[in-house]
Amino acid sequence: MKLIKLSFFALTICLSLVNVRVSARQSEVGKNQFLLGVGNQGKLFAQSSENLQFEADKLFREGQEFFQKSNRSSLIKSNFFEYSSSQNFLKASKIYKKIGNRSQERKTLYKLGKVYWRMGAYEDAINSYQQSWEIDQKIGDLSRTELKKQYEELDYIVDPIGMDYVPPSFYESQRYFLPLLERMSYIRKKLYGDNLFKKIGDYYRDTKEYDKAIEYYTKILEIENKEKGRPSENTLGSLGFIYYLQGEYKKAIEYDKKSNSYNSIGNSYFALGDYSRAIEFYNKDRFPNDYGLVAALFASGRLTEAENILRHKINEAKNNRDFSSFSNSDYNPAASDATSFNNIGPIDIEYKLIQKVLVARNKFDDALKFSELSRNRSFVRLLARKSSSGVNSLS
């Protein structure tokens, strides 16, 4: 009986050892299977990332092709290509973000911003641009050449100098310029160590946010004082003009005197009703604001002098192929007293002014002659326009 018990005990121990070995073996097999599964998942993820990268690159290339086609297509086709380009860039940017390709995501978002801007979707464009620039500031992978190119592209948007035709969309988009100007300022500081405060100040001036314009012009003054020991006449003149626009004429005169902007000083004195001082400073300028001078002479009752200047200007204009001798940059300080001169023809400004001066001098016959000359010129231009275009128009 004892022998049977001992044999049963020994058998139990053997079976236990076998179970331990089997369990260990199963554990090792399970571990290997787990590791194999992890390895396979890693391979699958790598393959998936490669596929997504390939897909994103394909979308990016197609987006570029569509954008290039939009440059050389009719209006309808151009709109289609621009939309297709935007969709491709948008999809590609999302994939690049998903797989963590930040550099290509930045590049694609910038391209998307360009397309949106072309489409007139300015808010979407700014949003895409800013996402691109945020990535750039984090990873900083743009070369100096790329930064220069980006600066030039943005500069062309905000300041299209040299364009034969400035489309209405330019003026519609101006209120979105500030983020572009700030980016340009960032690039300039990074490349050259300077800033773009002047353009930002001009932007605020054009949008009539005068306090902000003054803030930026003042920053320029501080920098110029620190670096050159004195402010530039250009910056002083910019501040003077802002104060003029705000109706702070005495303060405008203060800055304009420092910058020797005699025409601007004349405009401020005219606005203050001090016509003799206005005439004095208009005459000091190397290129007097002739319209301001005539208006000041007229307002102060010096009609003979005003008439002489206008007759001289009319003769000068006739010798200059009938184009008005008044400069387009001449500011009109007497706009409330005069006819609006928008869209009027060659030397018509002088004709209208001299009629007013001659009537004030009771020289009605002479005034009538200039009135007839003005009407005749308008009629001749109307005939010439019909002859050249063959189209009837009231414009």
* pLDDT at res. 70: 87
Sign of the Cα torsion 117, 119, 122, 123 reads negative
Q: Which helix (H) or strand (E) holds 168?
A: helix 168-173
Residue type, 175: R
- CA 126, CA 157: separation in Å to the nearest integer? 13
> How far is residue 379 from each of residues 317, 353, 372, 385, measured CA to CA in Å?
19, 19, 10, 10
Q: 52-141: which CATH topology?
A: 1.25.40
| Pair of tokens at residue 81 | 């290509």
* pLDDT at res. 22: 47
214 alpha carbon, distance to own chain's centre: 19
When mean pLDDT is compared across 4-13, 41-50, 311-320, 332-341, the lowest value belongs to 332-341
- Whether 266 contacts 282, CB under 8 Å: yes
Nearest to 231 by CA among 260, 210, 271, 270: 260
* pLDDT at res. 209: 93
- Whether 241 contacts 252, CB under 8 Å: yes
- Whether 249 contacts 271, CB under 8 Å: yes
Token pair 């954008």 is found at 67
Region of 79 on the Ramachandran plot (φ > 0 left; ψ -120 to 50 alpha; else beta):
alpha
Token pair 């990016």 is found at 60
Residue boundaries of the structural domains of the chain:
52-141, 274-390
- Whether 166 contacts 147, CB under 8 Å: no
Residue type, 49: S
pLDDT digits (tens, 9 = 90+) for 185-224: 889 888 877 778 888 999 999 889 999 999 999 999 998 9
- Please report, rounded to a whole number, the percentage of residues in the chain having pLDDT higher than 90: 47
As a whole number, the mean pLDDT across the chain is 80
In which band, very low, low, confident or very high, does the pLDDT at 27 lie, cut at 50, 70 and 90? Answer: low
392 alpha carbon, distance to own chain's centre: 37
* pLDDT at res. 336: 42
In which band, very low, low, confident or very high, does the pLDDT at 317 lie, cut at 50, 70 and 90? Answer: confident
Section 333-341 average pLDDT: 42
Which of 48-62, 258-272, 334-348 is predicted most confidently? 258-272
Phi, psi of 159 (to 5 degrees): -145, 75
Neighbours of 326 (CB within 10 A): 19
Between 330 and 376, the higher pLDDT residue: 376
* pLDDT at res. 156: 85
* pLDDT at res. 140: 83
- CA 195, CA 183: separation in Å to the nearest integer? 10
pLDDT digits (tens, 9 = 90+) for 57-86: 999 999 999 999 888 878 778 889 999 999
Burial class (CB in 10 A: 0-12, 13-18, 19+), 187: buried
* pLDDT at res. 87: 95
- CA 281, CA 277: separation in Å to the nearest integer? 6
Section 239-248 average pLDDT: 96
Section 37-56 average pLDDT: 68
- Whether 237 contacts 256, CB under 8 Å: yes
In which band, very low, low, confident or very high, does the pLDDT at 18 lie, cut at 50, 70 and 90? Answer: very low
Section 154-160 average pLDDT: 82
| Pair of tokens at residue 303 | 């009609």
- Whether 216 contacts 201, CB under 8 Å: yes
- CA 279, CA 143: separation in Å to the nearest integer? 55
Angle in degrees, 0-180, between the axes of helices 249-258 and 233-245, rounded to the nearest 10? 170
* pLDDT at res. 218: 94
Neighbours of 59 (CB within 10 A): 21
- Whether 88 contacts 106, CB under 8 Å: no
| Pair of tokens at residue 319 | 């010798």
When mean pLDDT is compared across 44-58, 121-135, 213-227, 339-353, the lowest value belongs to 339-353
Nearest to 245 by CA among 306, 201, 307: 201
pLDDT digits (tens, 9 = 90+) for 109-135: 999 999 999 898 999 999 999 999 999
| Cβ-Cβ contacts under 8 Å for 247 (sequence gap 6 or more) | 271
Q: Does the pLDDT value for residue 334 go beyond 80?
A: no
Q: Does the pLDDT value for residue 32 go beyond 60?
A: no
Neighbours of 80 (CB within 10 A): 15
- CA 79, CA 197: separation in Å to the nearest integer? 36
